[in-house]
Structure 1
């Protein structure tokens, strides 16, 4: 018989609002950190050794924080995206909590940004714009626009995206309201391939670059994976039927072994990435799970999975850490 799913290692409480987004930072000499963004505009910086918030950052005019990331290889350099249509750059070094720069995107949707550090000190940022079908790619230090990506046909609102570095240069995969996924060549500013895996809006997607395979989720019960072949063409791959509909977010662990999904049914689901084999249903939350994140810890025995929920709690799990 298979082992029952584990309980959380611990729960982080005190966000004071629904937890919309999570980001781990486990590098450097300091303690492992987890950044969380709340529905009331706060960013909590959690010290995972003490399991307490080291800092609480207030910005975005009390609007929801929907995406967070670190850059320049530093725990002190943080970027946040809020529903006030702004991106904020933070300097958290030496106890500071200063917004050093910001960008007004004009975007009113829920599409999260995507950050690509193409080389040390140089980062590309893809963000939604006031034109709800458009992706703008900017050089982050100067906010200089590199390109604007907009489909020629009507695909509806931009819903989700992921940018990464391919051999030929940066590429971006974008999911749209009509269920379409488009693979874009960022340097050439044109679409490489179209795919429509599901008829519903692409609520979330993720791509595992090493395996050249991605996955998308929607309000339906189906998860659909797809591949990027040698001609940079999207091809349907595996699909899996879930018990209940609705996925808010999904993340593939960096080693390409497991996938975690944040469910509208309050559950976290874990799948084997190779064949989308269901492995576990993690149950703790009393409301919809909005976000999942895997830690980037170098020690495989210290790998963690975190989930943020509408119930204002963050659950932290140790699961398949040595698989």
Structure 2
């Protein structure tokens, strides 16, 4: 771990808005923020200033995603509305809304930049597919097992779909067939999952004090390894795109940074007095900070902290607040 406790390199103040989810647009040097009261805030990463605020409704925004092929930002709120926003520099214009009627915390994912995958509004363990072209539901994946409980997390890597369930089971879909089912009982309620880009390793966690890392060999989950954290509860796991670091959002108001290779704890980021709601890494160069892998953390105290750690040219410097 760091001999000196790292500090954020910058802190954005969101006024009265609580940031709930974050998304880097490294091409345009922007950071999008979805709030708990339905706003989308746009930050310029070159000037470190908020450039726009778009009202997307009154419900908490769970997720933001870019569809660069169509110059769109996609948002999902707590009532299951998936909204499509045309991007015009800093301004957003709503062009369509899919009303899925799914109430809960399972976030949609993009599949092959062609389909949106989300939990069904009828059977809580079923997954629906919507076309991004005509916005219609085109197919459904049904594991036909009601004991799975709620579908909690969906992850897509290449043509593989990983589904994590309330019952602490993970299902791997390949095309339209179940390829593997694995169980992680010590996780208790499984809430967080991530998989590396090579589909060789994954990690999952939930309401317990256990994080599982596992290998994916010949499409099978095996060689499970568990590690313990000090206090129970992890709501989010985010793997850096270079497959070197994994960030865990913990219920004890901290973000823990682990080595992806060894799962050794490298840093404890504790500058979040009221708790943490989301983390994300940038995937390409952020010019102002001269790093490809800037970490952003959404905090319950109406702040977003930026961190430049475990990068070749990173330095631990004094916190700045705007």
TM-score, with normalisation over the residues of structure 1?
A: 0.89
Q: Give yes or no for contact 1:221–1:243 (8 Å, CA) kept in 2.
A: yes
> 1:228-257: CA deviations, max 9, x gaps?
211x11224322111111112111101100
Q: Give yes or no for contact 1:206–1:216 (8 Å, CA) kept in 2.
A: yes
> 1:216-238: CA deviations, max 9, x gaps?
110111111122211x1122432
In the TM superposition, residue 138 of structure 1 has moved relative to its aligned partner by 2.3
Helix, strand or coil at the partner of 2:130? strand
Identify the residue that residue 161 of structure 1 maps to in structure 2.
Answer: 154
Identify the residue that residue 295 of structure 1 maps to in structure 2.
Answer: 282
Pick closer, same or farther for the CA change 1:303–1:209 going to 2, 3 Å.
Answer: closer
Identify the residue that residue 176 of structure 1 maps to in structure 2.
Answer: 165
Structure with more relative contact order (C-alpha pairs < 8 Å, separation 6 or more)? 2
1:319 matches 2:309: yes
Q: Give yes or no for contact 1:179–1:201 (8 Å, CA) kept in 2.
A: yes
In the TM superposition, residue 287 of structure 1 has moved relative to its aligned partner by 1.6
1:43 to 34, 40, 43: 40
1:246 matches 2:237: no
1:228 to 203, 216, 224: 216
Identify the residue that residue 318 of structure 2 maps to in structure 1.
Answer: none
Counterpart CA distance in 1 for 2:241 and 2:292 is: 14
1:53 matches 2:50: yes
Pick closer, same or farther for the CA change 1:147–1:51 going to 2, 3 Å.
Answer: same
Identify the residue that residue 317 of structure 2 maps to in structure 1.
Answer: none
Identify the residue that residue 304 of structure 1 maps to in structure 2.
Answer: 294
Task: Give the 4+ runs in structure 1 shifted more than 6 A.
Answer: none
Helix, strand or coil at the partner of 1:49? coil
Q: Give yes or no for contact 2:157–2:199 (8 Å, CA) kept in 1.
A: no
Higher mean alpha-carbon deviation, 291-300 vs 50-59, is at 291-300
Query: Number of matched residues?
Result: 307
Q: Give yes or no for contact 2:280–2:297 (8 Å, CA) kept in 1.
A: yes
> 1:281-319: CA deviations, max 9, x gaps?
011111221111001124773421011122221111001
Q: Give yes or no for contact 2:14–2:304 (8 Å, CA) kept in 1.
A: no
In the TM superposition, residue 72 of structure 1 has moved relative to its aligned partner by 2.2
Higher mean alpha-carbon deviation, 309-318 vs 273-282, is at 309-318
RMSD over aligned Cα, in angstroms? Answer: 1.9
1:210 to 177, 182, 198: 198
Q: Give yes or no for contact 1:21–1:36 (8 Å, CA) kept in 2.
A: yes
In the TM superposition, residue 95 of structure 1 has moved relative to its aligned partner by 4.7
Gaps in structure 2 of 5+ consecutive residues: 314-322
Counterpart CA distance in 1 for 2:185 and 2:16 is: 35
Pick closer, same or farther for the CA change 1:147–1:5 going to 2, 3 Å.
Answer: farther
> 1:102-126: CA deviations, max 9, x gaps?
101111110111113x3xxx42221
